[in-house]
Structure 1
Amino acid sequence: MAHKRLPRFALEYLEGGAEDEAALLGERRAFADWRFLPRTLVDVSGRTLATSILGQSAAMPLVASPTGLNGILHAHGDCLLAQASQQADIPFVQSTMSNDTMEEVARAAPGVRHWWQLYVFGGDEIWQELLRRAERAGCEALVLTTNAQIFGDREWQRRNQIGNARLSASAALESLTHPLWFAENPLSLGLPKFANIIDFVPKDQRSFFAASNWVRAHQPTSLSWDTVAKIRQRWNKPFILKGILCPDDVRRALDSGADGIVLSSHGGRQLDWTVAPLDLLPVAREIVGEKIALYMSGGVRRGTDLLKACALGADAVWVGRALLYGLCAAGAAGAARALAIIKAEALDAMGLLGANRIEELGPHLLAHAGRVA
């Protein structure tokens, strides 16, 4: 449904990775390499996915991952994703590059577990103001993305744009062949704005493409663990580092004051040929023990993926694209449907695996392909 509705440039934004897209493909292959060792004759009549995320109950070990530019996928996409997350009883992480303000999201989904994802750009006063607003908006946690200070090489984007200013003629014309998307988005609302950060952008750079490029150009390559310390000092609620993919960084995160980390390649859109987050999970769990929360994102499409990640050590998975397909297809109802599909698949798979609770999952229920014990 999403493929039918979206124009090519928006669909490639949703699905594309960096360069050869090896990291993107590797994330799916990593799940394929792990096989279940199902137990039979187990009473599985009491199955539940209920768990705790950052000390609060959640219906399943899943977090709606931060995704930017949702406004090109569906009008007010951020608010709709928050509503779907609230309905599913899971946390929703809103991106700095979202198109609805954090205040609008808070009003649209009152009671949702609202987390704020931070990109550092410009001067310190910008992230400090965003933290103040997140606090006032009732955001429960802060998520610092650590691996996006240099923009990944995304060839599909160059195909669809003329420089950094506008869509190519072919991409613009092709978008007209999707009348429902065109009527609901650019025709009625114009191109979306980066509503949370637009006031920090020079007035002559506030168009859709220009603002995106301005922020990208002002993300400091000097981001370091010293920056993490400064942000940790300013934020008194749960603090999570997203984008960790190296065991040494996992160790450093333990000393940074972070409450959790997310193993993530940024959806395969940054450095290509990185290790799949799933493959790093057992090593990361051994390092952190139970000291901080351990999450992973990348390649999660089904309920069985969720179970594999939890069995290998994840406290929860973060899901982006799977929810966005639902959003593109049918707004909040579509995103809620995507979450319901993942949940139903996971519950059925737990029964077939011989487990009743998330706590029962572990590496003893998995075998790596070709090495069945």
Structure 2
Amino acid sequence: MFSNLDDYREAAKRFLPEFAFCYLEGGSEDGVTLRRNRAAFERITFEPKMMVDVTAVGTGTELCGKYAAWPAVVGPTGLNGLYRREAEESLARAAHRFGLPFVLSTASTSLLEDVRQCSDGELWLQLYVQRDRRIAEDMMARARGCGYSTLVLTVDTPVPGQRDHYARTGFKLPLRWTPRLLWDVVTHPRWTATVGIHGIPQLVNLARSAGLGANIEAQAAALGSQMDMSLEWHDIAWLRRHWQGKILIKGLLSVADAKRAAQHEADGVVLSNHGGRQLDGAPSAIEMLPHVVACMPRGFEVYIDGGVRRGSDIAKAVALGAKGTLLGRAPLYGLAAAGIDGAIAVLAQLNRELETCLRLLGCADINALTDAYLLGNCVSALEFE
């Protein structure tokens, strides 16, 4: 296996056709938000404490009322079947191996029932809401019946962001075969032999709940042009009627919206700019984190995603008050590079890095990690530049 996440990213880039790698890697418009996600982490500086017994370090915590081996979640990502066959099953198995929850996307390419069958781990469901809300209601019922415990409602996608790489690489659903796209596939024979030979993956969960069958054009429309743009805060009450577990609201980027989520009895929020794939010029989640945490009631859980590439990034988020971080692209690099073994190796790398970071910080228990382990100017360094 490889030495760091960048090596897995490069291996993924070699394996995948350009259109698939750009789908994994790309952001919206000029990539301003995408770059900002990493830059914000890099502006945070540690202040380690020395002469502390770190023979053993504890990383265990509680996420949405359930034990997790470390404060991370393998987050929801769509169309993962572009990278490997049975991608969601592999990600769920990898997450369970490391004692982490796995979040299945509405845009998954494996049935939620199949993912449950392959893993005894903690499973969450990420939900997009279409104009026909019976689709979401059916998907929630199916997930409840399979023991999914937490619902993650994504609210930052009333329409897809402007993603220039779609036009550049010729990728769209349904796929239109152009000479460039054919050449892209032909020049990646390993991907073609293991993934492409089976055709473009289907949005099978959406198809089953919407009764769409194998019509990828209708599936793509349900995921894009048929999204419910009327979704409002009072609709959390509608969710509560169909979901008895924990509810997190994902895609918020302001103190005011986080307060509204708490007022409408959500259990927590995921601060997120959708990995830089929606509104270009938005703040990063880590920038907003300390401001949101300072205003939330006790017991209200705040998670972040976007730009997490090292175990030390997880430590920075926890020090600033995050309950945990959602991992998006990081495990996908491993999955694309080497299948389930790659996903496992990436999670193992992040876990080792987190434990090393805690030892070097002089913090023997991640639950004791606060901003006292950061330089005093770190929060001000996260002010918008």
Q: Same fold (TM over 0.5)?
A: yes
1:21 aligns with 2:31: yes
Give 1:326's aligned residue.
Answer: 334
Do the aligned partners of 1:232 and 1:257 also contact (CA within 8 Å) in 2?
A: no
Query: What is the Cα deviation at residue 315 of structure 1?
Result: 0.6
Query: What is the Cα deviation at residue 229 of structure 1?
Result: 2.0
Change (3 A) 1:178 1:122: same
Give 2:105's aligned residue.
Answer: 95
Change (3 A) 1:347 1:222: same
Change (3 A) 1:201 1:125: closer
Query: What is the Cα deviation at residue 293 of structure 1?
Result: 0.9
Percent of pairs with identical residues: 36
Do the aligned partners of 2:141 and 2:242 also contact (CA within 8 Å) in 1?
A: no
1:68 aligns with 2:78: yes
Amino acid at match of 1:192: P
1-structure distance, mates of 2:194, 2:295:
48
Query: What is the Cα deviation at residue 199 of structure 1?
Result: 3.8
Give 2:64's aligned residue.
Answer: 54
Amino acid at match of 2:102: F
Give 1:117's aligned residue.
Answer: 126
2-structure distance, mates of 1:88, 1:369:
30
1:107 aligns with 2:112: no
Do the aligned partners of 2:64 and 2:150 also contact (CA within 8 Å) in 1?
A: no
Task: Give the SS at the match of 1:197.
Answer: helix
Do the aligned partners of 1:232 and 1:258 also contact (CA within 8 Å) in 2?
A: no
Task: Give the SS at the match of 2:336.
Answer: helix
2-structure distance, mates of 1:266, 1:161:
22
Deviating more after overlay: 132-141 vs 207-216 = 207-216
2-structure distance, mates of 1:351, 1:289:
31
2-structure distance, mates of 1:190, 1:163:
14
Do the aligned partners of 2:19 and 2:171 also contact (CA within 8 Å) in 1?
A: no
Structure 1 runs of 4+ with >6 Å offset: 369-372
Task: Give the SS at the match of 2:45.
Answer: strand
Query: What is the Cα deviation at residue 254 of structure 1?
Result: 0.7
1-structure distance, mates of 2:153, 2:321:
22
Do the aligned partners of 1:68 and 1:95 also contact (CA within 8 Å) in 2?
A: yes
2-structure distance, mates of 1:128, 1:281:
31
**Normalized against structure 2, the TM-score is what?**
0.92
Deviations 1:109-166 (A, max 9, x none): 1x11011110001312111111110111111111100101111000001112277542
Task: Give the SS at the match of 2:307.
Answer: coil
2-structure distance, mates of 1:56, 1:180:
40
Deviations 1:206-228 (A, max 9, x none): 44455213431100211111222
Task: Give the SS at the match of 2:200.
Answer: coil
Deviations 1:269-318 (A, max 9, x none): 00011111001111111111423111000000001100000000101000
1-structure distance, mates of 2:171, 2:364:
53
Give 1:300's aligned residue.
Answer: 308
Task: Give the SS at the match of 1:46.
Answer: coil
Do the aligned partners of 1:278 and 1:309 also contact (CA within 8 Å) in 2?
A: yes
Amino acid at match of 1:117: Q
Q: How does 1:145-294 map to 2 (within 5 A)?
A: 145-161=154-170, 165-167=174-176, 168-187=178-197, 189-199=198-208, 206-208=214-216, 211-294=219-302
Do the aligned partners of 1:238 and 1:259 also contact (CA within 8 Å) in 2?
A: yes
Deviating more after overlay: 224-233 vs 303-312 = 224-233
Give 2:7's aligned residue.
Answer: none
1-structure distance, mates of 2:232, 2:366:
35
Do the aligned partners of 2:107 and 2:223 also contact (CA within 8 Å) in 1?
A: no
Query: What is the Cα deviation at residue 22 of structure 1?
Result: 0.7
